[in-house]
Amino acid sequence: MIRWTVWVPLALFMLFIGFAAYQLTQPKDEFIASTMIGEPLPQFDLQPASVDRPGLTTQDLRDGKPRLLNVWASWCVPCVAEAPHLEALRRQGADIVGVAIRDRPEDVARFLANYGNPYSRIGSDDLSELQLAIGSSGVPETFVIDGQGIIRYQHLGDVRADDVPVLMRELAAAQ
């Protein structure tokens, strides 16, 4: 008669295998969320990325009005997909400021001519400095900034139709 306890290590091992197998079937979450939610924006002064919109400074985002800060680039494919949804946000009254990552003025101009310009300001971030400072890990990402320049919410990836009401709600909550 074998004692039942000899099976304990095997059972533990099978449990481990089962857990590992389950984890392998789960889709990998590629997004890294910013840990700057609730923190103020850093000091920055971005040059205009486009001829017909001013650049972007910290002061522009501290005038009491909450805004969406969209981190994007003309070379970013999902940014094309989100363009109509940013336009929908603008029509619903959102003030959207853009931060163009590693971009050239002529490419920005071409992108805006092709896909629309929902931005009231666009700053250029050629060394991804502001992007790193706010904990953004890619393009596109959309942050909700309250009237005091504090980061309130982060949307990772492109904005889709379902995200529009969520962002409007977060924007209203940041009043």
Partner 1 sequence: MIAVRRFLKVLAVWLAAMAIPVAAQDSMPPAPYAYNQLADPQQEAAAQDLMETLRCLKCQSQSIADSDAPMAGDMRHQVRTRIAAGEEPEAVRAWLVARYGDYVSYAPTVSKTTWPLFAVPLLLVLLAGFILWRRLRTRS
Residue ranges that bind partner 1, judged by CB under 8 A: 30, 32-36, 73, 75, 101-104, 107, 126-129, 131-135, 137-138
Nearest approach, Cβ of residue 118 and partner 1 (Å): 21
Q: Would the CA dihedral through 140, 143, 156, 23 be positive or negative?
A: positive
Whose Cβ is closer to partner 1: residue 84's or residue 135's?
135
Q: How far is CA 27 from the centre of its chain?
A: 20
Nearest approach, Cβ of residue 6 and partner 1 (Å): 13
Selection from 116, 170, 169, 117 nearest residue 145 by Cα: 170
Distance in angstroms (rounded) separating the CA atoms of residues 2 and 97: 72
Which tokens hold the place of 46?
A: 């971005």
Helix and strand counts by DSSP (H, E) for the chain:
5, 7
Nearest approach, Cβ of residue 32 and partner 1 (Å): 6
Nearest approach, Cβ of residue 31 and partner 1 (Å): 10
Whose Cβ is closer to partner 1: residue 87's or residue 107's?
107
Whose Cβ is closer to partner 1: residue 8's or residue 172's?
8
Nearest approach, Cβ of residue 129 and partner 1 (Å): 7
Torsion from C-alpha of 54, 55, 60, 66, nearest 10 degrees: 90
Whose Cβ is closer to partner 1: residue 95's or residue 107's?
107
How many CB atoms are closer than 10 A to CB 20?
A: 9
Whose Cβ is closer to partner 1: residue 117's or residue 131's?
131
